[in-house]
Amino acid sequence: MPTPYRQLNKKEGPGIGPLLLYFLPLPLLLVAIASLLSGNISKLIYSGAALGLTWLAAWFLRQGAKYEWIAGKRKWARATRVPWRFSAAVFVATAAFIITKMLAGLPFLVGVISAGMGFAGVALRYGFDPQYDSNQDVSRFGVTTEEVVEALDEAEAHLVQIEASSKQIGNNELKIRLGRIVSKTRSILSIIEDDPKDLRRARKFLKVYLTGAKNVSSQYARTHQLQDNETLEQNFRNVLESIESVIEEQHGKLLENDALDLDVKIEVLEAQLKHEGII
């Protein structure tokens, strides 16, 4: 049965545990270098493979920890589609077999036992990827759990891209505007998490607003470096002002449970974004 994500403290982060696997197999690097110098190609291949698999396992564990950390901060989260920790355990098991059987020359059975111990060690230390279990029935709101998760995931991905574009912009005023847009949108996402029925009323806003905000910020971040002029900057400022205005309206409407008039303003913003060639 699926289990909910473990709730992690925001300050805790994904931790440094997986990073240890980057350092533990370093002796294999020395073996690989010695094998290269001595011309022992087979030993070079085996030591390199074991080292690479262990480092790959460390990377997979790190990614799995990041996913769980992010999911642990949210009320809605999708089960990871990549078995990060299980894959890491398989990589470590394979590396252990190569080290024991191929490098050390021990019997096949010993290699299998070593692989099993490697797999068990990762599984016991890091566990396996948790499965999503919202424990909430949202069908009465006219949306499915998958729709809520997909909408939140897509919105957050857009916000991350907006933040990335903001870092490439030197104008502090514009960076602050983008920061306000991201912050207020995350407040809207929080409202949707608390009351999923709001997704039905906010869906059009999220699609038009976030798509426009993401596109215009990425385009400006890319273009202003090649053609930095006042007209371009002012056009970008005008679009951001419109987006900020609409997001404030959306936030207020959601808090008041009032969907009237907002669609009209969203359509006006959509027309403006199309006119600017943003969507």
Give the residue from 68, 102, 126 where a domain finishes: 126
Q: Is residue 184 part of a domain?
A: yes
Confidence (pLDDT) at 267: 57
Give the residue from 126, 156, 182 where a domain finishes: 126
Is 96 in the same domain as 66?
yes
Is 266 in the same domain as 148?
yes
Q: Is residue 8 part of a domain?
A: no
Is 99 in the same domain as 203?
no
15-72 per-position pLDDT tens digit: 556 677 788 888 888 988 998 999 999 999 999 999 999 999 999 998 888 777 766 6
Q: Is residue 7 part of a domain?
A: no
Is 151 in the same domain as 270?
yes
Structure token pair of residue 49:
């493979």
Confidence (pLDDT) at 236: 82
Confidence (pLDDT) at 146: 74
pTM metric for this prediction? 0.57
Confidence (pLDDT) at 279: 43
Q: Is residue 11 part of a domain?
A: no
Mean pLDDT, residues 187-205 taken together:
77
Confidence (pLDDT) at 11: 42
Give the residue from 81, 97, 126 where a domain finishes: 126
Q: What percent of the chain has pLDDT over 70?
A: 73
Is 153 in the same domain as 91?
no
Q: Is residue 218 part of a domain?
A: yes
Is 205 in the same domain as 109?
no
Is 113 in the same domain as 144?
no
Confidence (pLDDT) at 129: 76
Q: Which residue has the tokens 């030993």?
A: 43
Confidence (pLDDT) at 132: 54
Q: Is residue 83 part of a domain?
A: yes
Is 144 in the same domain as 118?
no
Confidence (pLDDT) at 76: 63
Q: What is the DSSP string of the chain?
A: ---PPP---TTTTT-SGGGHHHHTTHHHHHHHHHHHHHT-HHHHHHHHHHHHHHHHHHHHHHHHHHHHHHHHTSSS-PPPSS-HHHHHHHHHHHHHHIIIIIIS---HHHHHHHHHHHHHHHHHHH--PPPP------GGGT--HHHHHHHHHHHHHHHHHHHHHHTT---HHHHHHHHHHHHHHHHHHHHHHH-TTHHHHHHHHIIIIIHHHHHHHHHHHHHTTTS--HHHHHHHHHHHHHHHHHHHHHHHHHHHT--TTHHHHHHHHHHHHHHTT--
Mean pLDDT lowest for which of 53-67, 206-220, 253-267?
A: 253-267
Question: Predicted confidence band at 243 (pLDDT cuts at 50, 70, 90)?
Answer: confident
pLDDT at 100 over 90: yes
Confidence (pLDDT) at 75: 66
Q: What angle do CA 161, 166, 168 make, to 5 degrees?
A: 105
Question: Predicted confidence band at 262 (pLDDT cuts at 50, 70, 90)?
Answer: very low
Is 144 in the same domain as 270?
yes
- CA-only gyration radius of the chain, Å: 25
Torsion sign over Cα 69, 63, 184, 153: negative
Is 86 in the same domain as 174?
no
Q: Is residue 3 part of a domain?
A: no
Is 163 in the same domain as 235?
yes
Confidence (pLDDT) at 77: 61
As for how many domains the chain has, the answer is 2
Structure token pair of residue 64:
């799995």
pLDDT at 88 over 50: yes
- Whole-angstrom Cα distance, residue 25 to residue 172? 45
Confidence (pLDDT) at 249: 79
Give me the domain span that covers residue 34.
17-126
Is 100 in the same domain as 169?
no
Q: Is residue 134 part of a domain?
A: no
